[in-house]
Chain A
Amino acid sequence: MSARTPRLDDPVIAAGISMASMTDRICAITLRERPFVWWWIAFAPCLALTALLAVAIAYLFCRGIGIWGVNWPVMWGFAILSYVWWIAIASGGTIISALFFLTRSEWRDSINRIAESMMLFGALAAGIYPILHLGRPWLFYWLFFYPNSMTLWAQFRSPLLWDFWALLTYVLASVLFWYFGLLPDLASVRDRAVSRGKRRFYGVLACGFRGSRLQWTHMRAAYAVMAAIMAPVVVSIHSIVGLDFAGAATPGWHSTEFPPFFVCGALLSGFAITLLLVIPLRRMLHLQDMMTGRHLDVLCKLLLTSSLCIAYAYLMDAFTTFYGADPAEHELFRMRAFGEYMPVYWGALVFNCLLPQLFWIKRVRVHTPGIVAICLGVVIGMWLERYEIVVTSLARPHLSSAWGAFHGTFWDWATLFGTIGMFLGGILLAVRFVPVVSMHEMRELIASRTAAESGA
């Protein structure tokens, strides 16, 4: 069938999909008695990895962060760079969901639920790192402002403090944002559910959303407000993450370009992961007629755009280094580009800047295997970029007597892959238990189109 192979001129939604049929299909997925076999096959490894994460964390708390590869002078390692990586992924989801809601982009409606789930679980994965990273994690609450018997407060000038609060805000906001958008759909699922158990389950989740006009007004208003908040919040969180580095006098970090640079990075990895989720899901759940070639095309174009921004940032990075006169910066750049960490630098460059250029070619933008390959490349590239920023910079301080090297240990990798398992597991659970497409927004989309057709 032609609808199954995505084409550039696909409509946002295939003709002949009525509100009812769409709602029925989506609810059917959620209300299936038993999950698909592929779901189990995918979920099992995620569960295993999550268990590994639990072990890694337990051992970490018992023994101390010495189980990681961090050392003197490379005091930050996987914890921070993975944190930045996850936050970027989450932010990408937010931008698709919130920013393009505000711009009323209709292509967003069918994929924003996926994007939001991505935001949610990305934020959670990121959220655990700052605490694991601490030498004495049980004292993390000292970053709160609370009246205590020491009459001490947290220290306002530290970017880490801003980061802590930004992250807190972001995680809470994304949970709410996700949930608000979910309410009407939960209600529809509740109404279509047959078994008493499911009806009660979704009934509780739906918080008694009955679709009354008043409820709709409130819900829309709340969602719009949340979107309007999320858009700047996501920019701020990632700028502040950038400031964690820009705020330090360390060679390789001390650069004003970091905040925008990091936001672009967030977009890039966000679009990449969205594509990586959308492509298999539309296939497995037979949603090709709702997530069409049009969607892939748009996402690929956006990915290409953000990749160009990143390329610009890399260019500026090199330029400012040699425009400036700091010998430490020069040495550091030489080491990055030609030293022991050479593969990291060039890897990031190729995966983040060169590879996505393939999207200039129209055919590639709808060629799913190609897209998947490129997006995987981007995801890895973004991780390498963070590795380059965090590790290589620290390995080359001003004094050559303090130069060092960093090598991740088993527990570093265990924690990283553990969070990946947790993330994917979360997505799969969402696919299983909540509507995978935002039905109420789709209904509006369909309504507007039918109105347009009838109007024509």
Chain B
Amino acid sequence: MNHASDRLWRSLEEAGGNADFIARVSQEFPNLAASLAAPIDRRRALKLMAASLLMNGLPGCDSKLSENLIPAVRVPSNIVPALQNSYATAHVLGGYATGIVVSHYMGRPVKVAGNPHHPASLGAIDAFAQASLLNFYDPDRAAEIAHRGIPAARADFETALAAQRLSLGADRGAGLRILTGTVTSPTLIAQIRALLEQYPRAQWTQWEPISRDAVMQGAQLAYGRPLELIPRLEQADILVAIDSDLLCSAPGRLRYAREFAQRRNPNRTHAMSRIYAIEPTPTLLGSVADHRFIAGPAQLAHILVALAAGIVDGASAPDPARSLPDWIVPLLEDMKGARGRILVHVGASQPAELHALAHAINDALGGRGVSFDLIEPVSNAGSAGQPLRSLIAEMQSGRVQNLLIIDSNPLYSAPAAWNFEEALRQVSFSVALAQHPDETAQAAAWFVPQTHDWETWSDARAFDGTASILQPQALPLYDGLGAVEMLELYRAPAARSAEQVVRGTWKRQFGDGFDAAWHESLATGVVPDTACAKSGARLRALPAQLNSSAPINDDAALTVLLRPDPSLWDGRFANNPWLQELPRPLTKLVWDNPLLIAPALAARLHLENGDLARVTVARSSVTAPVWIMPGQAPECITAWLGSGRRAAGSIGDGQGIDYYPLTQLPGAATLQKQPGHVRLASTVHHNLLLAASQEVLRHGTLSDYLAHPGVASTAQPEPHIYRTAPPGAAAWAMSIDLNACIGCNACIVACQAENNISVVGKDQVLAEREMHWLRIDRYFAGDPDAPESFFQPVLCMHCEQAPCENVCPVGATVHDSEGLNVMVYNRCVGTRFCSNNCPYKVRRFNFLPYAREQHRPPQSWNPDVTVRVRGVMEKCSYCVQRIAEARIAADRESRPIGAVRTACQSACPTRAFTFGNSADPDSEVARRKSSPLNFSMLERQGTAPRTTYEALIRNPNPAIGAGRKAPPS
């Protein structure tokens, strides 16, 4: 964030000592503490929201004198009313950290941004990390420790634990088991190791529903030990993505997205990369690839074996009985041609053997050290510790007396067949440390509320091993324990505070000069030089059985692909309204997770969108609505995990379908149509398969572009009779690079968080009333079975000849002197004519008092943006509040206004958005607008938009001819 840059990177200590600072924070929102101390029912929440309107709603009437001014008793340094402070920390998902910066107003966290110093962020941020703001403020978060469902005091728990320590000491921890998610935190690992030394017979299980074990095992097969492969996409001329999760769910995806984008705009990169995607279900990478080939699991393995045979000497030949698609040969040519500058990447959901094969191919093509690196593993998940399966077996056999579950929810997410619930009953002393009273927590003997990551000290490693220290952003809103504190309690009664423990860990690392290093690490959010070392491991000869190791599915049988929900991950975000209502990239679905099936399969079973169907795998079956997904492999059904929670909270409970019962089951699946239909909410209200017309979205191939660079760009704008460019000093404008956009939705959440945009709920979305200011339009073109897909972010174009302006009878939407199309909420009477007259349909209307009914306390709104009441039109303002702040800062010092970054821009991992003063020829936006790819949407409307696009250029292999087609199967 521009305005924070000077104040950024300050640690809490510098903020005048935690005690003061945090005391300040709790003072800052006394009524939040008060209102959230007790568990909140909906009515209470509504009361809160009503209060929020008093605080910052529109109808704040200017003759009212009732409001109070509440100064602090004592103000720590750096806390200035109405100024923003920013502190670095990290967001941990699936064990891997991404650096973030949390912005505070008067001590309240209100916005999350990426940390430019952090290798996994580079300043970008994903939807999850941004939405964690709502998790922090979530009124459904538990307030009290509970013993078998009955509220208990912390003292009770500690006495119970003391008794446990005695018995554990007696039998050297024979009955003690620890269950966590993937852990990369040096502190936690050290603590658990210490615990295991104290109780040698205890065991530790790391388990993630979204598992990356196959990746490790693949490396194990290929190199004899677990390794992590770190792609260097900016170095890769060719990327062969085998069902790759590089842009969707792989750790470090933000960085990969950045590197990917660096080679995609022919106008800026020295040589455009070429991306082949071979996958059973559309992924983000596949959707933006130059060639996307559809292949089910069996075909996928077959193709990879064939590629290996073509490249790796000594690799066994593919099964001659199976046909190979005709594009294999040109693909192989292309791959060999790019020796040393090529990468083959296999997604985590593919079996270990395919990973091993890919390692072999990569090694043979010599990209190591250039287009990818191999590093020592960041986490020892999978390789070390006891597998969940055997833990459950032990529990059932009653050999486990003491089970500590930290931030894991196996009761919901473990395979149903393993029957964790039953096993848990056999454990006399089970403790669940969780932020919500979730499924597992409710079944465990003891439920201990876990503090949010922003309320305690911890640390974690990023995809490349770089460590970050997580520092608290506020005092706990609820009484609770962090993971670190809990483990401390397990070891000794007089537990050290989390801060002491974390400091202890890093004292050992930093040695003397600790203070400086510690401050530096807190300030930058990165602990220097902690990245994992590159591995020198050599490739082993490929085991012979590899080609027979392809999954034993024949193409006729159906396969269920269980993937993390693009917005809810493994379900831990199910109670987050922003994420629930975040349109999934390719389906634009919200609040739902139907089965994704191919058009062919739908036709065969006579299924329409929303029809119910029952999918059965090995005697366990789930009935769910279906959604027809163009580009899906006909023999595959995709199911998103993470919905259908039973105890997520008032937002997530009962939303969508729970597919975990289908996990870890062998054999083929069957799909039968069921009577019944469900209305699925999608923000694209006509599920049309449309070629994006050049009027709207211009695209072409690299060869066309090289032939005539101007092919896609806008012709000279016709002179306007009426107003020309506004007089102001600055001319705010935006350019969006369609070559960079991967449809990841980070911008949408950023916009929602920055601009206090309401969540409206499934019913209102079904009524076509979603409120997102920024939407990502998704178009398909070509053959429904294997379409080409396009992403196009659409926000207010800030037209210089804005049609909305001259139809408003009260002048509530007008132009300002710097070219912004301003929406003055408090002047709006709600005729809605402006929306009718907007060719881009970027205006949203408060049909109902949405802002009153948000599932968040008033203190979580952004105080710099008006909260809109019902009956008022709203739309993208180019983050006018940030412009105003920058302008004021500049004017105070009588200097020209500096750079302003919009929320969408600062969040975007690929830098697709560029915003700035186009009047300044040296500005990035001016440079991008002079690109031959520059075009404006619906140009013939003569609106002269300030937001323009760079046309999408793809780089297909001429030898493969028609861009993307399905393999013969």
Contacts and interface: CB of A to CB of B under 8 A. Distances in A.
Given A72-B769, A400-B688, A405-B768, A135 B846 contact: yes
Nearest to B835: A75
B829 A134 contact: yes
A42 interface: no
A405 B837 CA distance: 17
Q: Which of A135, A154, A405 has the most CB of B within 10 A?
A: A135
Nearest to B831: A160
B770 interface: yes
A402 interface: yes
A398 B872 contact: no
B500 interface: no
A397 interface: yes
B779 interface: yes
B831 A64 contact: no
Contact of A135 (B684, B686, B809, B873): B873
Contact of A161 (B769, B809, B845): B809
B832 A75 contact: yes
B685 A404 contact: yes
A71 to B, nearest CB: 4
B809 A66 contact: no
A107 to B, nearest CB: 41
Given A71-B768, A142-B829, A135 B803 contact: no
Interface in A44-62: none
Contact of B794 (A69, A70, A401, A404): A401
Contacts of B764: 66
Nearest to A161: B809
B425 interface: no
A218 interface: no
Interface stretch (B154-162, B213-221, B388-396, B690-698): B690-698
Contacts of A127: none
A2 B827 CA distance: 65
A158 B807 CA distance: 4
A158 B841 contact: no
B830 interface: yes
Contacts of B839: 249, 397-399
Contacts, number: 153
B848 interface: yes
A405 B685 contact: yes
B351 to A, nearest CB: 38
Interface string B698-736: 000000000000000000000000000000000000000
B837 A248 contact: yes
Contact of B829 (A66, A135, A247, A250): A135
A143 interface: yes
Given A158-B807, A327-B695, A397-B839, A66 B684 contact: no
A71 B769 contact: yes
B884 interface: no
A155 interface: yes
A301 interface: no
Interface in B775-830: 775, 777-779, 794, 803, 806-811, 827-830
B806 A157 contact: yes
11 contacts: A72-B770, A136-B870, A152-B810, A154-B811, A155-B811, A248-B803, A248-B833, A249-B803, A249-B941, A394-B836, A404-B685
B938 to A, nearest CB: 6
A399 B840 contact: yes
Contact of B779 (A134, A158, A401): A401
Nearest to A63: B848
Contacts of B696: 398-399
B794 A250 contact: no
Interface string B747-764: 000000000000000001
Contacts of A136: 828-830, 869-872
B510 interface: no
A139 interface: yes
Given A399-B777, A401-B779, A73 B849 contact: no
B261 to A, nearest CB: 23
B769 A66 contact: yes
Contacts of A312: none
Contact of B684 (A64, A142, A248, A401): A401
A199 interface: no
B339 interface: no
A202 interface: no
Contacts of B872: 135-136
A155 B832 contact: no
A382 B1 CA distance: 56
Contacts of A404: 685-686, 768
B767 interface: yes
A221 to B, nearest CB: 37
Contacts of A400: 686, 688, 690, 779
A153 B811 CA distance: 8
Given A134-B830, A400-B686, A403-B685, A154 B841 contact: no
Contacts of A157: 806-807
B845 A72 contact: yes
The 6 closest A-B pairs by CB, nearest first: A135-B830, A135-B871, A66-B847, A66-B848, A402-B841, A75-B832
A332 to B, nearest CB: 13
A158 B810 CA distance: 8
A76 B836 contact: yes
Nearest to A70: B847
B789 to A, nearest CB: 13
Nearest to A162: B809
Given A152-B811, A400-B690, A135 B794 contact: no
Contacts of A398: 695-696, 839-840, 938, 941
Contact of B809 (A65, A76, A154, A248): A154
Contacts of A66: 764, 769, 847-848, 870
A135 B809 CA distance: 13
Contacts of A402: 840-841
B845 A155 contact: no
A64 B871 contact: yes
Contacts of A405: 685-686, 768
A155 B808 contact: yes
B690 A133 contact: no
Nearest to B691: A400
B844 interface: yes
A94 B950 CA distance: 57
Contacts of A69: 767
Interface in A313-359: 326-327
Given A76-B836, A135-B832, A400-B686, A327 B693 contact: yes
A64 B840 CA distance: 25
Contact of A65 (B688, B806, B830): B830
Given A70-B847, A72-B845, A134 B831 contact: yes
